[in-house]
């Protein structure tokens, strides 16, 4: 017997217990730290039990082969056809931290691009039949140009092949939503909506504003109350940094007072500092983003959210912040924008250096760019080869790598996500008897 090299082990608690997460098979359990040490030091004395089974392997198993097989099956045998659509780069707001800050004038949806995108999604279903087609609309603001957006969402719904199941979702600032549009969204199988509220009214209104500087808090709260009555899954993202983190408690008070606690899934997120003008980041800010203090902020916010009975994502991959699998390596994951440009990452969208094709010219986007992204899955960076988080990280987020000024295929290590932050979130959920799925 041997301990799997994909066991990520937490720091011991005061009473000597550790959490172990197997990043390949996603097993998760708590053990006495001495038991885990014995897996490595005295493996012949260890007896397999249902609890330790996911963390042990026969001596003969070649774990690198096992991982390669696992990654390839995720790449080619998943049952999802994943399409993110950016209908507009422009936006009716000017949020101070927006990723898209420098991209607002890169274009908007046209009737021609609606027709081409709908046709391309039809073509993709021929190539990848009988999948769960998941379509995500984001932007810019996807609901600008309302009638063309409606043609797009309806065109995709009406073009679903027999044997394919459809689930659509939208990430929106919410300001353009009304009841009529919500009913339309529901009818097009848009079953998930994500809105954003960044703390209490003063904090939110200082960050998420109309171009004239007016805040959007009241509008978004009113829309949120409508959305929860119509759409089955509602995410509320809370972007925070050192300026607004302390106001999140007041936002929770307001959500509680409105009875929204169990009707929404909260998604706190650290604000990423982006400066696309020079196509690099304020490196120091980016590094600080997850400095020890920032991890502590995240943990405190997450704990309060769970403690107060609000819902959070409970899938193990999302709790530990798994980076892989994502669309970058999947044979059937794409982001397409209003110009018809196709990317393998929904964060690199709008940066033409990373596009893999253009569907206004040719639906076939499966050339060198596509192949390079897929093949990079098994090109493990040297420093990652023996990292226990490799199966859920695979060298890190490609967008993170580009943001830090490196090349698309360079490693980008955010190990603390899987260790400090991941284990702290798991611990919080376990303490509150919330099942991790
Ligand atoms: C770029 S927006 C586009 C969709 C829509 N306009 C909206 O605001 O939801 C997509 C998501 O990114 C988040 N976001 C934008 N800039 C960010 C940043 N610098 N750091 C973290 N999240 C950011 C927004 O809160 C939103 O949830
Ligand atoms: S609403 Fe969305 S796209 Fe518009 S400025 Fe804010 S974060 Fe950016
Ligand atoms: S980038 Fe870091 S966490 Fe990810 S596999 Fe490599 S060493 Fe591990």
Q: Residue 163, SS3?
A: coil
User: Which parts of 308-419 fold into alpha helices (H)?
Assistant: 316-319, 368-375, 390-393, 398-403, 415-416
Residue 183 CA: distances (Å) to CA of 148, 177, 189, 263, 427: 17, 10, 10, 18, 39
pLDDT at 272: 82
- Closest residue (by CA) to atom 7 of ligand 3? 384
Give pLDDT < 50 ranges for the chain. 277-281
98 in ligand 2 pocket by Cβ < 6 Å?
yes
Q: How far apart are CA 297 and CA 249, in angstroms?
A: 13
Task: Tell how far the Cα of 99 is from the centroid of ligand 1, in angstroms.
Answer: 6
Kindly give the number of the ligand 1 atom that is closest to the alpha carbon of 208: 8
Q: Taking the CA atoms of the chain, what radius of gyration do you get in angstroms?
A: 22
pLDDT at 213: 96
- Which has the closest alpha carbon to 195: 167, 217, 210, 168? 217
Angle made by CA atoms 20, 304, 319, in degrees to the nearest 5: 35
Question: What's the half-sphere exposure (Cβ side, CA atoms, 13 Å) at 292?
Answer: 0
pLDDT at 278: 39
Ligand with an atom nearest the CA of residue 346: 1
- Closest residue (by CA) to atom 5 of ligand 3? 390
- Which has the closest alpha carbon to 43: 35, 31, 33? 35
Task: Tell how far the Cα of 173 is from the centroid of ligand 2, in angstroms.
Answer: 7
Sheet of strand 7-9, all strands in order from the earlier edge strand to the far edge: 7-9, 17-22, 28-32
157 in ligand 1 pocket by Cβ < 6 Å?
no
325 in ligand 1 pocket by Cβ < 6 Å?
no
pLDDT at 224: 98
Q: DSSP string of 48-103?
A: P-TTTGGGEE-TT--HHHHHHHHHHHHHHS--EEEEEEEEES--S---TT-TTTT-
pLDDT at 100: 77
CB 48 within 8 A of CB 4: no
| Tokens encoding 204 | 């939110």
Q: How far apart are CA 185 and CA 428, in angstroms?
A: 35
pLDDT at 271: 87
Percentage helix, strand, coil, to 5, in the chain? 40, 20, 40
Kindly give the number of the ligand 2 atom that is closest to the alpha carbon of 91: 4
Ligand with an atom nearest the CA of residue 414: 3
- Which has the closest alpha carbon to 293: 242, 239, 238? 242
- Closest residue (by CA) to atom 3 of ligand 3? 415
- Which has the closest alpha carbon to 338: 25, 115, 46? 115
Q: Residue 183, SS3?
A: helix
Kindly give the number of the ligand 2 atom that is closest to the alpha carbon of 92: 4
Task: Report percent pLDDT > 90 for the chain.
Answer: 84
| Tokens encoding 422 | 């991941």
Which residues line ligand 3 at a C-beta cut-off of 6 Å?
Answer: 383-384, 387, 389-390, 393, 395-396, 411, 413, 415
pLDDT at 284: 58
Q: How many CB atoms lie within 10 A of CB 401?
A: 18
176 in ligand 1 pocket by Cβ < 6 Å?
no
β-sheet bridge partners, residue 265: 235, 311
pLDDT at 279: 43
Task: Tell how far the Cα of 382 is from the centroid of ligand 3, in angstroms.
Answer: 10
pLDDT at 105: 82
Is-above-0.75 flag for pTM? Answer: yes
CB 364 within 8 A of CB 346: no
First to last CA, the chain: 28
H or E element in which residue 169 lies: strand 165-171
274 in ligand 2 pocket by Cβ < 6 Å?
no
> Exposed (0-12), middle (13-18) or buried (19+): which is 266, by Cβ within 10 Å?
buried
């Amino acid at each position: 017997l041997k301990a799997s090299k994909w066991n990520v082990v937490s720091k011991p608690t005061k009473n000597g217990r550790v959490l172990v997460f197997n990043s390949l098979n996603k097993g998760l359990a708590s053990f006495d730290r001495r038991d885990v040490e014995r897996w490595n030091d005295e493996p012949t004395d260890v007896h397999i039990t249902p609890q330790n089974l996911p963390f042990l392997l026969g001596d003969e198993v070649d774990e690198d082969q096992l991982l390669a097989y696992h990654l390839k099956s995720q790449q080619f045998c998943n049952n999802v056809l994943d399409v993110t659509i950016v209908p507009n780069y422009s936006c009716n707001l000017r949020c101070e931290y927006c990723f898209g800050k420098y991209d607002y004038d890169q274009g908007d949806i046209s009737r021609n691009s609606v027709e081409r995108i709908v046709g391309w999604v039809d073509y993709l279903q021929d190539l990848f039949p009988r999948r769960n087609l998941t379509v995500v609309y984001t932007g810019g603001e996807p609901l600008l140009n309302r009638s063309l957006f409606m043609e797009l969402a309806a065109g995709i719904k009406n073009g679903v092949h027999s044997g394919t199941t459809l689930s659509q979702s939208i990430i929106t600032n919410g300001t353009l939503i009304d009841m009529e549009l919500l009913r339309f969204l529901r009818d097009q199988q848009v079953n998930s909506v994500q809105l954003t509220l960044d703390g209490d009214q003063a904090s939110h209104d200082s960050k998420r504003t109309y171009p004239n500087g007016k805040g959007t808090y009241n509008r978004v709260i009113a829309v949120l109350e409508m959305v929860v009555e119509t759409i089955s899954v509602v995410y509320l993202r809370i972007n925070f940094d050192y300026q607004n983190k302390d106001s999140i408690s007041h936002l929770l008070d307001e959500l509680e007072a409105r009875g929204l606690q169990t009707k929404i899934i909260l998604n706190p997120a650290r604000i990423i500092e982006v400066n696309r003008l020079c196509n690099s980041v304020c490196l120091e800010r980016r590094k600080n983003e997850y400095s020890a203090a920032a991890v502590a902020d995240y943990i405190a916010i997450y704990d309060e959210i769970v403690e107060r009975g609000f819902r959070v994502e409970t899938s193990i991959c999302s709790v530990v912040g798994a980076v892989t699998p994502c669309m970058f390596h999947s044979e059937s994951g794409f982001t397409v924008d209003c110009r018809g440009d196709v990317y393998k990452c929904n964060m690199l969208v709008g940066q033409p250096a990373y596009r893999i094709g253009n569907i206004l010219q040719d639906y076939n986007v499966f050339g060198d760019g596509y192949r390079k992204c897929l093949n990079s899955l098994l090109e493990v960076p040297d420093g990652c080869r023996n990292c226990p988080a490799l199966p859920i990280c695979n060298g890190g987020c490609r967008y993170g790598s580009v943001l830090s000024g490196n090349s698309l295929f360079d490693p980008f290590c955010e190990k603390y996500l899987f260790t400090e932050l991941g284990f702290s979130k798991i611990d919080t959920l376990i303490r509150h008897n919330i099942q991790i799925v």
